[in-house]
Every structure is written in structure tokens, then in C-alpha cells.
Amino acid sequence: MPHNGRVTARSNDASVSPFVSFTRAEWAELAHNTPLPLTDADVARVRGLGDPIDLTEVDQIYRPLSRLLTLHSEAVGALHHATSAFLGERASRTPFVIGIAGSVAVGKSTTARVLRELLARWPSSPRVELVTTDGFLLPNSILEERGLMARKGFPESYDRHALRNFIAAVKSGVAEVSAPVYSHVTYDIIPDERVTVSHPDVLIVEGLNVLQPAAVRTRESSALAVSDYFDVSIYVDADPAHVRQWYIDRFLSFRSTAFAREDSYFRNYASLTDEEAVERASFIWDTINAPNLERNIEPTRSRATIILRKGREHAVQSVQMRKI
């Protein structure tokens, strides 16, 4: 607890855990010397549907987190400068890369957008880019051909080679790197549309499976994982029962928003009654999202640098930070 202006965090189990844990109050105490540059309007603009994040949450959780990430970024930059001087090189610094993982409907997209807004206001990182891994999903035509439409979001539904090459190019300092664009309305990759990343100070990569380890290869054909290019990684965590309810609530809201659009892939869901919508959302969660969370996403949680643990009301209740 706070004591004489300092915070003492608790280890999960000092003898075995690689993480040190902070309660919400302990974590919020770390922000006392950090300015909060966002307003209520800024938060309303970046929050996702179904995620009730407010300025208090940003103040207590994301303000200290943005400062910690900035310290990490500045330290990596100093190390790069020292190493370049030692080697007699004049190579420019490459981007600081942050990975954000977590379940469908847990709020990781909002976390990514809030951090982008905050980090871009620090003098050391004015250029912050955000890319989601949705753009690296295989097109529906390929998923259908491979019988993977019901496994969309599972690791095998992504072009993992293209995703890894994209992040490697950005991290290596390539001047301009482009990525495909995904539409949640048409539920598919948008043909001939790309997003271009150009010399960012910070790149945030958000997606379900960004902390997946590399596939096991032979010694002669070893592989790198996407997460090998991250300087810091964040896992947004919550009780699966809570996330299931958030998913259902969001599904209900989509009936009058995304589902109601003429070009929506899920147009037929817009006219569902509450009972029908709950039944359909529950089926999708139980047969697709829950198995993906249990088998592929949740097991990567321990690989993160920082874990944000949310409570029933979507607010972050504790923060775990890797100490080793």
C-alpha cells in the first residue's frame, strides 16, 4: 500500500512468480507526477462499443501505464544509441513495438486506442501508429476453401508469415510498410486497400494471438514469433464468464449499429429479437470464441510483460508487471 509517497507492490508468490502485482489503488498512486493530457471527449472518441471506459479509468490505469511505456521506450532508445556508438555505426533508432493481446470483447482495442492517444502526447514519441492483426486474416474465399470460416480468429485463420514480415520490416526501420485492411462490416479483407506505416516512434500491434509462440521447427529451419519483435507486451485479462456476457451485450447492441447496415455480412442478425440474439450470441461464443480463448489465447497470458485484470464492470482491478 502507499507509504510515504511510495508504493509497495506484492508478488503473487515471491518464490515462483515472475510477476509483481499492484491493486488498482496502488497502481493509481504511481501516476501522481504524470500529466493527464486527455479529456472526456477524447475518451468518448476512442472507446469501443460495450466498453464503458471513462476519464477516471484513463487517469488511474492508463496514465501511469503510458508513463511506464515511455520510460521503457526511452531506455531502449538509449541502449540503441550506446550500442551504435560502441559498434561505430550511425544507424537510426528503430520503432518501439508494443503488443496487446486478449480475448474477443475484453476491450483490448480500446486499450490500444487509449494508449495511442496518450503516448502520442509524450515528447519522445510524437508518431504513434496502431495496427490490428485483423488485416492479416486470410480472405473469406481462402477460409471457405480451407474449411476455416468457423475458426475465424484461430491462429490458422491468419497469414502469420505476412504479419511477421510486416512487423519485422517496421522494426528493422524500413521507411514505409503497408498492411491489408479488414472490414468488420463486410467481415472480410477489403480488396486493394492498404494502411501504410511510415517511420513511427512507437508501433502498437493489437490482436487475439499476437503472443503466440513460434511453431516448432527443425534446427535447420528455426522460426521467429511475432512477439519476438515486441519491446513490451500487454495482456488484457478478465474472467471468461464476464467476457462472455460482454460479448453477448455487444452483440445485442450491434443489431442497431453494424448489423443494421445494408452492406453488413450479418445483416440477417439485425432483426433478431432479444431472446433470439442472446441465443445466437451464446452459441457463437460457446462454439468459437470460448474454445479459441481457452486453447490459444489464454495460455499466452504468462508471456506478457504487463497483465491488466478487469472486473465484472470492465474496470481494471489489478495490474501485474513482469519483474524477470
CATH (domain of 108): 3.40.50.300
Q: How many angstroms separate the first and last alpha carbons of the chain?
A: 22
- Euclidean distance between CA atoms 100 and 300, whole angstroms: 11
Res. 69 pLDDT band, cuts 50 70 90: very high
Write a three-state SS string for 53-112.
Answer: CCHHHHHHHHHHHHHHHHHHHHHHHHHHHHHHHHHCCCCCCCCEEEEEEECCCCCHHHHH
Q: Is the pLDDT of residue 14 over 70?
A: no
E strands in 199-248 = 202-206, 232-237
In a domain, 1, yes or no: no
State which of 10-24, 76-90, 290-304 shows the largest mean pLDDT.
Answer: 290-304
Q: For the chain, how many structural domains are there in total?
A: 1
* Residue 245 belongs to domain spanning: 10-322
Res. 2 pLDDT band, cuts 50 70 90: very low
Q: Give me the amino acid identity at 193.
A: E
In a domain, 288, yes or no: yes
Question: What is the reported pLDDT for 1?
Answer: 41
- Euclidean distance between CA atoms 80 and 318, whole angstroms: 32
Interval 157-214: pLDDT, tens: 999 999 999 999 999 889 899 999 999 999 999 999 999 999 899 999 999 999 998 8
Interval 253-275: pLDDT, tens: 999 988 999 999 999 999 999 99
State which of 10-19, 92-101, 178-187 shows the largest mean pLDDT.
Answer: 178-187
Q: Is the pLDDT of residue 219 over 80?
A: no
In a domain, 3, yes or no: no
* Average per-residue pLDDT for the chain: 89
Question: What is the reported pLDDT for 7?
Answer: 52
In a domain, 154, yes or no: yes
Question: What is the reported pLDDT for 277?
Answer: 96
Region 148-160: mean pLDDT is 95
What's 222's DSSP letter?
-
